[in-house]
Amino acid sequence: MAEKRDYYEILGVAKTASADEIKKAYRKVAMQFHPDRNPGDKAAEEKFKEAAEAYEVLSDADKKAKYDRYGHQAFGPGMGGGGFHASNMEDIFSHFGDVFGDDMFGSFFGGGRRSSGATKARGQRGSNLRIKLKLNFTEIAHGVTKQVKVKKYIICNTCNGSGAKDKNSIQTCNTCGGNGQVRKVQNTFLGQMQTVTTCPTCNGEGTSVTAKCTACKGEGRVYGEETISIDIPAGVQSGMQLSMSGKGNAGERGGAFGDLIIQIEEEQHAELQRDGLNVAYDLYLSFTDAVFGTNAEVPTIDGKAKIKIPAGTQSGKIFRLKGKGFPEVQGYQRGDQLVNVNVWTPQNLSSEEKAMLEKLSNSHNFKPQPNKNDKSFFDKIREAFN
Ligand SMILES: [Zn+2]
Ligand SMILES: [Zn+2]
């Protein structure tokens, strides 16, 4: 890094200069190296920043006193100087109000600079479009490509989006000559200043339409319908949003398309419940099936599955079907299906059935005798969901 120059030297003033003299000196140097007067000149830009830094310090009584005493060291090693942060141009311009007055700032620094980088804009961007998409468990588990008819603004076929009746009715804007920008020269007490702003006649488009397309009334777009192919990755959930760039509403007169935002909704399954990656199913067993054991058929995301229920299965037992749950959206994990056993207690009994059961009610084997292998409800829940 080059040796920092003395702030007084940068502004070309003596150490004894008054605040007013410093301000005047800065104004002079800033105008000389102003980027609008020296377009593309890096050296001038550096000088312009250097002057802003010097002025920042010398215009502040406190900082100036420190600088007079310690020089650049006053503000610590590595610091630009004086806690000076205006390393970018916008910051520097924000200081100009003080020096040149707010009127000047607004009229040629503010307005001019902000739009000078603007490029010729075609039309206006279309808005984003939001749709809801209902998916069933099978579609969610495997991912799916959906063809969805969407009502939205589409490009007008008649004029291809230009909004003009025909080729001859599109004309280069007279005001800006097709640039989309206009330059204004202002006389100020500092001399002539040039500013660049968006052309007011064509709003920066560079062309104007003399006769409008009748199909779209000059908008370049019409309300219509498009069938959009939407790829849904496996594992999505209710409330998730997917975004397809450029699939929203068409813009006016050839402007960019908005985005399509797809909000996922889960269709309820008649028998299965989703819990994150896992699927839960309540299996009801008759008392005798629980006692003797059976082969039970249970629904899964992908159709029926058979599970073996061993003899003596207790109500509340959870069987786990590994890998029969949902996949992670962006990952390698896959959930399980948890089959929760409920032993059905008969509610209506004939007198014959009642008599049979009464005989058994005092039987030793019918008395609950949980052993340590019969886990508590909470243990089972903890185990099942971990
Ligand atoms: Zn049209
Ligand atoms: Zn124009």
Looking at this protein, which amino acid is placed at residue 121? A
Confidence (pLDDT) at 89: 57
Which ligand is located closest to the Cα atom of residue 254? 1
Compute the distance from residue 120 Cα to the ligand 2 centre, in Å. 9
**Least confident range of 78-92, 209-223, 318-332:** 78-92
**What's the CATH class of domain 129-266?**
mainly beta
Compute the distance from residue 182 Cα to the ligand 2 centre, in Å. 7
Q: Can you read off the two tokens belonging to residue 288? A: 């005798």
Compute the distance from residue 166 Cα to the ligand 1 centre, in Å. 9
Compute the distance from residue 110 Cα to the ligand 2 centre, in Å. 21
Q: Give residue-wise pLDDT tens across range 43-69.
A: 888 888 888 889 988 988 888 888 888
Q: Can you read off the two tokens belonging to residue 136? A: 């069933």
Which ligand is located closest to the Cα atom of residue 154? 1
Compute the distance from residue 131 Cα to the ligand 2 centre, in Å. 37
Compute the distance from residue 153 Cα to the ligand 2 centre, in Å. 26
Q: How remote is the C-alpha of 261 from its chain's centroid?
A: 11
Confidence (pLDDT) at 186: 75
What residues have CB less than 8 Å from 261, skipping those under 6 apart? 128, 129, 130, 131, 241, 242, 243, 248
Cα distance between residue 176 and residue 331, in whole Å: 54
What are the structural domain ranges in the chain?
Answer: 7-100, 129-266, 273-384
Compute the distance from residue 168 Cα to the ligand 2 centre, in Å. 17
What residues have CB less than 8 Å from 206, skipping those under 6 apart? 120, 172, 173, 176, 178, 179, 180, 199
Closest CA to 148 of 227, 223, 225: 227
| H or E stretch at 164 | none
Compute the distance from residue 115 Cα to the ligand 1 centre, in Å. 30
**What's the CATH class of domain 273-384?**
mainly beta
Compute the distance from residue 104 Cα to the ligand 2 centre, in Å. 25
Looking at this protein, which amino acid is placed at residue 305? A
Q: Give residue-wise pLDDT tens across range 238-274.
A: 999 999 999 999 999 888 999 999 999 999 999 999 9
Domains 129-266 and 273-384 share a fold: yes
CATH code linked to domain 7-100: 1.10.287.110
